[in-house]
Amino acid sequence: MDSKRRNFLKIAGLSAIAGIGAPSAFNMLLKGEALASGGHGAPAAQGEHGAAAVTGKRYGMVIDVKKFADNPGLAEQCVKTCHSIHNVPDFGNRKDEIKWVWAEKFQHTFPEHSQYKKNDGLNELPILTLCNHCDKPPCVRACPTKATFKNKDGIVAMDYHRCIGCRFCMAACPYGARSFNWRDPRGKDENGNPFIKELNPTFPTRMRGVVEKCNFCVERLAIGQIPACVEVASSAGALVFGDLNDPNSEVSEKLRSSFTIQRKPALGTHPSLFYII
């Protein structure tokens, strides 16, 4: 827990005891260090509803699409790495498909961006598409069991052992980022080939009937590593990962120096993923 946060909790706790109430303590803190982390590419109105939490970490990612175009095969490599270390099964059909990250066409990742006399090159670009780790995640709001929850570092994570498989979160996610285990991912197909090609014994497999998605590599962050896809793309500089609330982080630097867009900013989800097109 960083010191800012600890201070905040102290003040909040004290003021609650004193009967001043936590909101005023929150305001006190806000005044000193307002950093509009939610403002990027979000709808113009940034009133009460728009302001994002400014205490603590908020992990985010900048995706430089051009770099992916310059390095053919890089996107596929990111996908492959993510899916293999996370034991994501491959059922070989679209209906049962499970994916945490994939390369998508521009028109599908950004369906609300229409183009007139469109640049054909744009739709050839592989747009890396994954969970946005929204700051105001509708999936968390919808989940009836808290099996999907937001960590204090901004990561939207899942508890596979609590999930009841109601798929309410899938209806709620406006980005199609979630997948459901329609059948046993630990099983084999008719020819006896396992759905998980090579098992990574250090990461849990999931059971049938639960939802899953990109976890921003929490398990790697916990031991001081960067997300696997970011590591793969690091030599090309195509993915930049870090704390959006830290003004000195590489990702903050990147956001300040480039024009980036977010997916469906009008929905108020405040994605933590930013794209340089």
For ligand SF4, the binding residues (CB under 6 A) are: 82, 86, 100-101, 130-134, 137-139, 142-143, 145, 147-148, 156, 158, 163-169, 173, 175, 177-178, 211, 213-217, 227-229, 269
Asked if 69 interacts with other proteins (CB under 8 A), we say no
Q: Are 169 and 210 in contact (CB under 8 A)?
A: no
For ligand SF4, give the closer residue by CB, 55 or 179: 179
Q: Which is nearer to other proteins, 149 or 203 (CB)?
A: 149
Q: How far apart are CA 163 and CA 158, in angstroms?
A: 8
* Shortest distance in whole angstroms from residue 50 CB to ligand SF4: 16
Among 67, 183, 186, 220, binds other proteins (CB under 8 A): 183
The three-class DSSP label of residue 61 is strand
How far apart (Å, rounded) are the C-alpha atoms in residues 181 and 163? Answer: 11
The pattern of x and - marking residues 140 through 169 that bind other proteins according to CB under 8 A reads xxxxxxxx--------------xxxxxxx-
Stretch that binds other proteins, among 42-50, 72-80, 251-259, 262-270 (CB under 8 A): 262-270
Q: Which residue has the tokens 């009836």?
A: 144
Query: Which residue has 């329609």 as its token pair?
Result: 182
Give SS3 for 25.
helix
Quick one: 81 exposed, middle or buried, by C-beta within 10 A (0-12, 13-18, 19+)? middle
Chain residues 4-23 in contact with other proteins, contact rule CB under 8 A: none
156: partner contacted, choices other proteins, ligand SF4, none (Cβ within 5-8 A by kind): ligand SF4
Report the alpha-carbon distance of residue 186 to residue 90 in Å, rounded.
10
- Least gap, CB of 207 to ligand SF4 (angstroms): 12
Helices (H), 55-212: 65-70, 74-85, 106-109, 120-124, 138-142, 168-172
Q: Which does 228 bind (CB under 5 to 8 A by kind): other proteins, ligand SF4, none?
A: ligand SF4
Of the candidates 138, 148, 151, the one whose C-alpha atom is nearest the C-alpha of residue 59 is 151
Q: Based on CB atoms, which residue is closest to ligand SF4, 14 or 236?
A: 236
- Taking the CA atoms of 160, 162, 166 and 168 in sequence, report the sign of the dihedral they define: negative
Q: If binding is defined by CB under 8 A, does position 130 make contact with other proteins?
A: no
Q: Using CB under 8 A as the criterion, which residues of the chain lie in contact with other proteins when the complex forms?
A: 94-98, 104, 107-109, 111, 129, 138, 140-147, 162-168, 170-176, 179-184, 207-211, 264, 267-269
